[in-house]
Amino acid sequence: MRRLIVFVIALLPLVATAQNVKIPKGANEFTYHQIEYGEQNDTTEVYVHRDNDVVTIVTQKPKGKLIPGYCQTVTEVDYAQDSITVNAYYDDSIYFYRTGFSRNDLEWKKENGKWKTSVNSNTLEFEMDEKAPVNVNPLPYYGLNKGVLRTFTRNGQKRLVLAKAEKVDWGMCGPLKVLLPSRRVSPRELDRIMKERLVVTTRIFDHEQICWGKANAHIDGGLQAVPSDTVLHYAGGTLILKKVKLPRLPHHYQHFVELHQQSNGDAYDRTGSLFIVTPGFFEGINNHPDSLPVFTGRDGQRYQGMMATGSYQPPIELVRFFTPFGVGHFNERMAGYGIDWRDETFYRQEITDLYYRCMDDQSVCIGIWIGNYDAGGHRVTVDIKSYPNDYVWEEPGEESEFPGEVVSLFNTCNVLEMAGQNYGKLFATDSLTVTFRLEDIDQSAELRYISTGHGGWGEGDEFVPKTNTILIDGKPVFTHTPWRQDCGCYRDLNPVSGNFWNGLSSSDFSRSGWCPGTATQPVYFDLSPWADGKEHTLTVAIPQGKPVEGMFSHWAVSGVLIVEY
According to the model, what pLDDT value does residue 52 have?
86
Closest Cα partner for 493 from 515, 473, 463, 474? 515
Closest Cα partner for 243 from 254, 231, 234, 252? 231
Sorted by where each begins, the domain ranges of the chain are 2-194, 199-564
29-63 confidence digits (pLDDT tens): 999 999 876 555 667 899 999 988 899 999 999 98
According to the model, what pLDDT value does residue 358 have?
81
Neighbours of 120 (CB within 10 A): 5
How many Cα neighbours within 13 Å face the side chain of 385?
Answer: 16
199-218 confidence digits (pLDDT tens): 999 999 999 999 999 999 99
Same fold flag, 2-194 and 199-564: no
According to the model, what pLDDT value does residue 7 have?
40
- How many Å apart are CA 147 and CA 29, to the nearest integer? 14
276-329 confidence digits (pLDDT tens): 999 999 999 999 999 999 999 999 999 999 999 999 999 999 999 999 999 999
pLDDT at 399 over 50: no
378-390 confidence digits (pLDDT tens): 999 999 999 999 9
pLDDT at 174 over 60: no
- How many Å apart are CA 503 and CA 493, to the nearest integer? 17
According to the model, what pLDDT value does residue 103 have?
66
**What would the mean pLDDT of 357-363 be, rounded to a whole number?**
75
- How many Å apart are CA 377 and CA 208, to the nearest integer? 10
Give the single-character DSSP code of 13. -
Architecture of domain 2-194 in this structure? Clam (2.50)
- How many Å apart are CA 161 and CA 43, to the nearest integer? 10
441-474 confidence digits (pLDDT tens): 776 899 999 999 999 778 899 999 999 999 999 9
Closest Cα partner for 86 from 199, 185, 13, 18? 185
Local confidence band at 171 (pLDDT 50, 70, 90 cut-offs): low
- Share of residues in the chain with pLDDT > 70 (%): 91
Closest Cα partner for 60 from 39, 45, 78, 79? 45
- The chain-wide mean pLDDT, for the chain, equals 90
According to the model, what pLDDT value does residue 549 have?
80
pLDDT at 97 over 80: yes
Local confidence band at 564 (pLDDT 50, 70, 90 cut-offs): confident
**What would the mean pLDDT of 163-186 be, rounded to a whole number?**
76
**What would the mean pLDDT of 469-485 be, rounded to a whole number?**
98
According to the model, what pLDDT value does residue 6 have?
41
Phi and psi at 63, nearest 5°, equal -80, 155
CB 247 within 8 A of CB 377: no
**What would the mean pLDDT of 240-257 be, rounded to a whole number?**
94
User: In CATH, which superfamily holds the domain spanning 199-564?
Assistant: Peptide-N-glycosidase F, N-terminal domain (2.60.120.1570)
Residue 483 CA, chain-centre distance (Å), reads 23
Kindly give the pairing relationship between strand 148-154 and strand 122-129: antiparallel
CB-based burial label for 534 (10 Å; 0-12, 13-18, 19+): exposed
Local confidence band at 4 (pLDDT 50, 70, 90 cut-offs): very low
Provide the Cα torsion 34, 39, 42, 45; round to 10°. Answer: 20
According to the model, what pLDDT value does residue 104 have?
67
Closest Cα partner for 355 from 241, 219, 248? 248
More confident: 335 or 524: 524
Terminal Cα-to-Cα distance of the chain (whole angstroms)? 54
According to the model, what pLDDT value does residue 5 have?
40
- How many Å apart are CA 302 and CA 282, to the nearest integer? 19
Closest Cα partner for 302 from 211, 416, 189? 416
129-170 confidence digits (pLDDT tens): 999 988 899 998 888 888 999 999 999 888 899 999 999 886
Local confidence band at 402 (pLDDT 50, 70, 90 cut-offs): low
Closest Cα partner for 12 from 168, 151, 183? 168
451 Cβ partners below 8 Å, 6+ apart? 468, 480, 482, 512, 513, 520, 523, 542, 555, 556, 557
Local confidence band at 396 (pLDDT 50, 70, 90 cut-offs): low
According to the model, what pLDDT value does residue 92 have?
87
According to the model, what pLDDT value does residue 172 have?
53
Which amino acid is located at 4 in the chain?
Answer: L
Local confidence band at 173 (pLDDT 50, 70, 90 cut-offs): low
According to the model, what pLDDT value does residue 42 have?
67
pLDDT at 102 over 80: no
According to the model, what pLDDT value does residue 309 have?
96
Residue 80 CA, chain-centre distance (Å), reads 45
Handedness of CA 198, 196, 201, 254 (dihedral sign): positive
Which amino acid is located at 496 in the chain?
Answer: V
According to the model, what pLDDT value does residue 485 have?
98
Closest Cα partner for 488 from 273, 320, 324? 324
